[in-house]
Structure formats: structure tokens, C-alpha cells
């Protein structure tokens, strides 16, 4: 007769089998250790996925419309946040108010993509503030010198908006 699942789990715990695969087994707080392991793995393996789509004519127009609307939302968020930044009024509360205002405006047309665009915009602004902190402490290298706040989603040469559709998680 084969051992039950509970007996196998107990054996793995007691003998500390597979320590590389399951480092949280045998710790005093296994759930906390498991959460930390998952967070560490997620932070290491983050990547973007780019796809080349071959849609029909009607689907191409629909996707282009969604992409341009995403770019419009990102650019409007950036414009308001830049104005508040240069007036030295941009705090976390102000950023939240701006995000909420545009989420309510664009949620009807973009759905979950509106939240993804807002998160992407917040990521760029948070990275900008982190670089400012590094610059103040003198830890910023020349490669990471902060010159200006985040830019808009547009092509600098033609001035046309770039089409971005961020992945909604």
C-alpha cells in the first residue's frame, strides 16, 4: 500500500528532500517563506512580450483605435502630472486624484486597459522620483542622470502618437 499524501509531505518535511526546489519546507513560518520566495522569483523574471499581429482590416482599425486611445490617456496623464510637478504640487495624493479622474473618463472605452495605462504611467513617474533620490544622494551614475520628467508616447521625428496597448493583468 502506498503512503498517503499527508505521509509523503511529512516525509519530505522531516528528511528535507528537495531543498533547492522547496526552500520554505522546515522553516518555522512556511507561508511567509513561500510568499518571499514567490516575490523574489517574480521580481527576477519580469519581461515584456511583444507580438506582431496580422489582423483583418476591420480588426486593424479597432486595435489602432484602442492603441491611440491608450496613448492619448498616457499623454493626458503625463501632461497634468508635469504641470503639477513644475508647480511643485505633485504629491502622492495629487497623483491619485489625477489617475482617478482619467480612469473614470477612459474606463468606458478602454476597460481594464485604462488601469494598465495608468499603472504604466505611475511606474514611469516612480522611476523618475527614484532617479531624483539617487541624484540627490550622489549615487546616480552618468548613465542614469535625470534630465526631465517622463516623456509622451509619440515619435519625436514625425510627432505622431505611438500605438501602445499595455497588457492588463
Domain residue spans of the chain: 5-44, 69-169
In this prediction, residue 135 carries a pLDDT of 81
pLDDT of residue 138: 77
Residues 163, 72 contacting (CB under 8 angstroms): no
* Per-residue model confidence as pLDDT tens for the chain (169 residues): 566 655 655 565 555 544 555 555 555 666 677 677 777 766 766 566 677 778 888 888 888 889 899 999 999 999 999 999 999 998 989 999 999 999 999 999 898 889 999 999 999 999 888 888 888 887 766 666 667 888 888 887 888 888 888 876 5
Question: What nine digits make up the cell of 139?
Answer: 549615487
The reply to whether the predicted model has a pTM over 0.75 is no
User: Can you tell me the distance from the alpha carbon of 150 to that of 70, in angstroms, rounded to the nearest whole number?
Assistant: 16
Please give the distance of CA 109 from its chain centroid, rounded to a whole number.
Answer: 21
pLDDT for the residue 107: 92
Cβ atoms within 10 Å of 96's Cβ, excluding its own: 11
Amino acid at each position: 500500500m502506498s503512503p498517503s499524501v499527508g505521509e509523503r509531505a511529512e516525509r519530505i518535511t522531516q528528511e528535507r528532500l528537495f531543498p533547492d526546489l522547496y526552500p520554505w519546507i522546515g522553516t518555522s513560518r512556511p507561508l511567509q517563506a513561500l510568499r518571499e520566495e514567490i516575490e523574489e522569483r517574480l521580481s527576477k523574471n519580469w519581461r515584456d512580450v511583444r507580438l506582431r499581429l496580422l489582423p483583418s482590416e476591420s480588426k486593424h482599425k479597432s486595435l489602432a483605435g484602442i492603441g491611440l486611445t491608450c496613448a492619448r490617456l498616457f499623454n493626458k496623464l503625463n501632461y497634468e502630472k508635469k504641470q503639477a510637478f513644475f508647480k511643485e504640487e505633485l504629491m502622492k495624493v495629487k497623483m491619485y486624484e489625477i489617475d482617478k479622474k482619467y480612469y473614470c473618463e477612459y474606463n468606458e472605452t478602454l476597460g481594464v486597459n485604462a488601469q494598465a495605462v495608468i499603472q504604466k504611467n505611475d511606474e514611469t513617474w516612480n522611476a523618475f522620483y527614484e532617479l531624483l533620490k539617487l541624484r540627490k544622494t550622489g549615487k546616480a551614475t552618468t548613465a542614469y542622470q535625470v534630465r526631465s520628467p517622463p516623456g509622451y508616447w509619440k515619435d519625436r521625428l514625425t510627432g505622431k502618437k505611438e500605438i501602445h496597448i499595455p497588457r492588463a493583468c
